[in-house]
Amino acid sequence: MTVEDVARELMCSTPKISRIETGTRPPTLRDVRDLCRLYRLDDAEQTRLMTLAREAKEQGWWHKFDDLGIDSLIGLETEARRISAHDSSWVPWAFQTEQYARAIIRGILPRIEERILDERVTARMTRQEILRSSQPPYLWSLIDESALRRAVGGSDLMREQLSKILEMAADSNVTMQVIPFEAGAHPGLDNTFMLLEFDGSAQSPVVFVENLAGNFYLERDAEIQRYREVLEHLRACALSPANSIKYVEEIKKRSRQELSKRASEHHATSIRKEVHHVRLRAFIARYSVADRN
């Protein structure tokens, strides 16, 4: 049936049907009921779609933010039973500290308004509560080593951030794996994405891809399968969960040692400068006396 055919049967405008099909406007429950009957869907499918339409009208906490841009993603995360994600450049949202979130958002968007920045940081911290709910999703996170090495906000902030990663990785519903530099080139090298899977048939799996061009939601079977294969490859080339935790601990330890070393070197340099100044003052004083004599 064409859009015009459907509009004629439902006695509504063609643009209305077009906007429903492209997702630019939500359908009413009556629209869904009438479309189900028109398309001769069975009772089970009609019930599923009516449930989705009814739930779509419920407002989540994220709707109070003006400039979030990922309303649909957060809605999917709250319903997901399993989330598999790969992050190639920064620490994933689920592990971020407030200070890291603020630094990374400002780094990516240097001209962002302070109000919008505050909203996004608050939303990101609230978003983490999904993992602490009564029925949290299972999160399997693959983090590229570059995200752990990049000194966002300075050494002190990064050590705090590494501690947060270790804290979150200890949760029973979280698996964290590090993809080390030694893995070389891999399918996720230039790609940050998330695969969300759900219980039952109310929602099919969705892949969320985020980049400068915008946010993309992929749902076709071929697209889902391609990203499943990428995830399998990444899990195989990553360190095991246990070794990943040890690796993060080692990076944190080395960071502390490097800071201590720099502090010692700075202290030694300060002492050398002070000794030099003392000698210089003594030299000047000695020749000043000689000149007077």
pLDDT of residue 211: 76
Say if residue 82's pLDDT is above 60.
Answer: yes
**E strand or H helix that includes residue 257:** helix 241-292
Strand locations in the chain, DSSP E?
82-87, 138-144, 174-179, 193-197, 206-211, 214-218
Q: What is the domain count for the chain?
A: 2
Does 36 lie in the same domain as 130?
no
> Is 266 within a domain?
no
**Domain enclosing residue 31, as ranges:** 3-56
Answer yes or no: is pLDDT of 148 > 60.
yes
Ranked by mean pLDDT, the top range of 24-28, 215-219, 253-257 is 215-219
The per-residue b/e assignment along 62-93, b for 16 or more CB within 10 angstroms, e otherwise, is beebeebebeebbbbbeebeebbbbbbebbbb
150 and 33 inside one domain = no
In the predicted structure, residue 143 carries a pLDDT above the cut 90? yes
- Predicted confidence at residue 52, as pLDDT, reads 80
Lowest mean pLDDT among 13-27, 85-99, 225-239: 13-27
Return the pLDDT at 267: 46
- CATH number of the domain at 134, please: 3.30.870
- Is the CA virtual torsion 131, 137, 140, 144 positive or negative? negative
Single pTM value for the model = 0.69
Residue 157 shares a structural domain with residue 66: yes
Residue 87 β-bridge partners:
143
Percent of the chain predicted with pLDDT > 70 = 83
More confident of the two residues 153 and 271: 153
